Structure 1
């Protein structure tokens, strides 16, 4: 941004990353697919997309300063209700597709699997942990007195620690299993985030709290949830992993 003078150029950082993904993916990842390709579930894709877009649009129109009042806005409750109706129609349609032997975008039999349901709930909560990091720049700016232009840099310790946590989470999943890894992740994450209001007064203390929180939710980033959802899905792993990512 210092070089260009415009924040619009920030998004170019994704281009070399995307090129490397294409190159490495083509050379090093072996393709796997079902032996028999079934008809694409176009209607399911349409209903799922419509329900997501409607709910997201409704939530975007919420006013954080006047939350209860904004719930009365037709653009909020109308879109959210419409999205929920689309999702209900999707579930009903996908049930019929599966009964006919088709290939649904969201398998109804998976949604009835109790282990899969519990894994989706854990995935939803882990998304909450990931979303919580958006408060860190404001925290260091308002509480630790870091200039606004440099506040974003202070996410670096947490980001690096989450990478270490993801590696540790994979190793621990192999040795102790996904359930114990998820439990340990929750304990470390709670301890790390609790340090911010209860202990941190100096920047070095902030670094320690950031590393603890980053390692904690880094455990969840890859292996344990993917292993849990794959175990529940058995043959529908692609659908299961996609559903987990969506949640």
Structure 2
């Protein structure tokens, strides 16, 4: 395959991932309009995001497995079609049926769950090892770009027309991706005729759904009190029980939805743990505006506090493609070590007196963003491309997304618990970021177990020899 064809494929993947990522960021400016349109309260409104995240989490392992079984092209296009149908349902929701909007958001999340892991697997299929880092870095930069452009684009659309067009705009993009994808994406598929692991998928879905629901019902303002609620502890308990049931089902399955043999590789275990830590750090950034208001009340208020998210987003948008290129040169171990170290330093800065000064706050947030650009971008996916066989490439990418989501879900509960126990305010949020900083410090130590550049090169040559023999 020549470079021109690869670049066209990369464009298809870029547009699909951008569509999914943009839909998260672009919705925020429309929330007041959606709330007024349906006449709902704040608690119900949060489900606009929650149900998207929940079905995204469930869709990721399922779509990843289906991609390995039925081919990248067909499942990638199916994901885009599901996302487009979900967008149409949301835009056509009647004002007296908020449930219709939630159904559309659920379908969007379900489709989007497969777009990113399948895109990463396609890069592994079509790009040579020495160019994978740059391609993965470009795809990873989409999320930073989406969170930069999304709120601005959303604001412009809302000044011109109604909120429904924030979702209708996905339809022409989806059509372009479908047409180009059908022409360009490779048609790989498994030759295995083993039965699909339905029981494993149902248990995994129930485990993720119950855990997500329970964590999202925790009230960060009354953390310990809300844990006793019937909306929280029964669902968390179900999630914990199913966590022990799931491996037993997978070991008996002919073709497991999540191949536990992947965890026999130390690299896979380390990458999964580091991805969970990265998700923890990323989701913790949601509380930056609250910390800014508490630490700089004279210059920062509820109306302008969200602008202090910009240093994080800009650093991620700039850092992701840069890390991808450096990855091809220095290998994953050096880049992940640097990223975890920057994350630990940045979290330490956010927990210090630096946040009482605007320049200190901006610098701290930018350092965190650079660290996250490494951990959420190309290196983790690069590691999994090396460790997984071609037949399980997408499932391995889904594993990274799954553990990142677990970290994201845990973060709000962790930050809420620490902040509440310390009385909230600057002291509370500072202590929470210090805890995340300590976790990031532990992640630095984990990176020492990763393969160096020479070991990765040797592994790649071995994998290529096995593929050629097959």
Q: 2:180 aligns with which of 17, 21, 27?
A: 27
Residue 56 (str. 1) matches residue 212 (str. 2): yes
Q: Which residue of 2 aligns with 1:238?
A: 394
Deviates more, 1:144-153 or 1:69-78: 69-78
Written as runs of structure 1 = structure 2, the 5 A alignment for 1:64-79 is 64-65=220-221, 67-68=223-224, 70-73=226-229, 75-79=231-235
Q: How does the TM-score come out when normalised to structure 1?
A: 0.83
Contact 1:162 1:215 in 2 (8 A): yes
Q: Which runs of 5+ in 1 are unaligned?
A: none
Residue 157 (str. 1) matches residue 184 (str. 2): no
Tell me, in whole angstroms, the C-alpha distance in 2 between the residues paired with 1:178 and 1:52: 29
Q: How does the TM-score come out when normalised to structure 2?
A: 0.47
Q: 1:124 aligns with which of 263, 276, 289?
A: 276
Tell me, in whole angstroms, the C-alpha distance in 1 between the residues paired with 2:171 and 2:380: 25
Tell me, in whole angstroms, the C-alpha distance in 2 between the residues paired with 1:201 and 1:138: 13
| Shift, 1:94, TM fit | 1.4
| Shift, 1:171, TM fit | 1.2
Q: 1:214 aligns with which of 348, 357, 369?
A: 369
In structure 2, do the counterparts of structure 1 residues 183 and 21 end up closer, same or farther at CA, with 3 Å as the change threshold? farther
3-state SS, counterpart of residue 103 of structure 1: coil
Q: 1:205 aligns with which of 330, 346, 360?
A: 360
In structure 2, do the counterparts of structure 1 residues 226 and 26 end up closer, same or farther at CA, with 3 Å as the change threshold? farther
Tell me, in whole angstroms, the C-alpha distance in 2 between the residues paired with 1:13 and 1:94: 40
Moved over 4 A (4+): 1-5, 7-12, 65-75
Residue 88 (str. 1) matches residue 244 (str. 2): yes
| Shift, 1:160, TM fit | 1.6
Q: Which residue of 2 aligns with 1:169?
A: 323
Task: String of CA shifts for 1:98-120, please: whole Å, max 9, x gaps.
Answer: xxxx3321112113333211111
Contact 2:313 2:369 in 1 (8 A): yes
Contact 2:34 2:163 in 1 (8 A): yes
Q: Which runs of 5+ in 2 are unaligned?
A: 1-27, 36-161, 404-470
Deviates more, 1:154-163 or 1:20-29: 20-29
3-state SS, counterpart of residue 148 of structure 1: coil
Tell me, in whole angstroms, the C-alpha distance in 2 between the residues paired with 1:200 and 1:185: 21
Deviates more, 1:188-197 or 1:72-81: 72-81
- By relative contact order (CA 8 Å, sep 6+), the higher-ranking structure is 2
| Shift, 1:226, TM fit | 0.3
| Shift, 1:68, TM fit | 4.6
3-state SS, counterpart of residue 303 of structure 2: helix
Q: CA RMSD in A?
A: 2.9
Tell me, in whole angstroms, the C-alpha distance in 2 between the residues paired with 1:146 and 1:174: 41
Deviates more, 1:182-191 or 1:64-73: 64-73
In structure 2, do the counterparts of structure 1 residues 40 and 64 end up closer, same or farther at CA, with 3 Å as the change threshold? same
Q: Which residue of 2 aligns with 1:43?
A: 199
| Shift, 1:126, TM fit | 0.5
Contact 2:250 2:259 in 1 (8 A): yes
Tell me, in whole angstroms, the C-alpha distance in 2 between the residues paired with 1:231 and 1:223: 12
In structure 2, do the counterparts of structure 1 residues 80 and 155 end up closer, same or farther at CA, with 3 Å as the change threshold? same
Bigger helix fraction: 2
Tell me, in whole angstroms, the C-alpha distance in 1 between the residues paired with 2:236 and 2:32: 39
Q: 1:106 aligns with which of 258, 261, 275?
A: 258
3-state SS, counterpart of residue 31 of structure 1: coil
| Shift, 1:11, TM fit | 8.1
Residue 191 (str. 1) matches residue 345 (str. 2): yes
